[in-house]
Amino acid sequence: MQELIEINKDWVAGFEKLIADISDENADLKTVFEQYAQQSRLNVQALSALANSATATYVEADKSVTGTLHRAWIDIKSLFGGSDRASILSEAEPGEDAIKKAYNDALNGNELAYDAQQIIHSQAQDINAAHDKIKALRDAAQKL
């Protein structure tokens, strides 16, 4: 559960970095990324409550290595890459893949109580929908 909490925090940080780098011409992407950052904040709250209710000790940890690497990649791409729509959307993809994998691993691990499994399954569906939307936006931008 801790890994899901941390990767959601990483996702928030990654989206906040993207939001900060978006110019006015792609302001609609700020709205999309803000929505997904908020979704992850809510995921953290729900997962933290689950961890606490299961009498697990929740310790505030640093961001995960995957998230740190993803943010570093975004920083490097912002220096050398473009700030066009397709580039911005492509920057989100490594984080999208990492969070999908973390949720799939959690759901396939058979270590979750029924209530935790239901909440994580619901969050995974939202994350998959976000991934699909960002991928569709990216694919459309690449065709322009």
- Which residue is associated with the tokens 């990216």? 138
Greatest alpha-carbon span in the chain: 52
Residue 122 has pLDDT above 80, yes or no: yes
By the 8 A CB rule, do 33 and 12 touch?
no
Q: Cα separation of 103 and 59, whole Å?
A: 20
- What pLDDT score was predicted for residue 82? 57
Which CATH fold topology does 2-143 show? Answer: Ferritin (1.20.1260)
User: Which of the given ranges, 9-13, 43-47, 79-83, has the highest pLDDT on average?
Assistant: 43-47
- What pLDDT score was predicted for residue 58? 40
By the 8 A CB rule, do 61 and 7 touch?
no
In this structure, of 17-31, 44-58, 68-82, 94-108, the range with the lowest mean pLDDT score is 68-82
- Which residue is associated with the tokens 């969070």? 99
Mean pLDDT of all residues belonging to the chain: 81
pTM of the model: 0.79
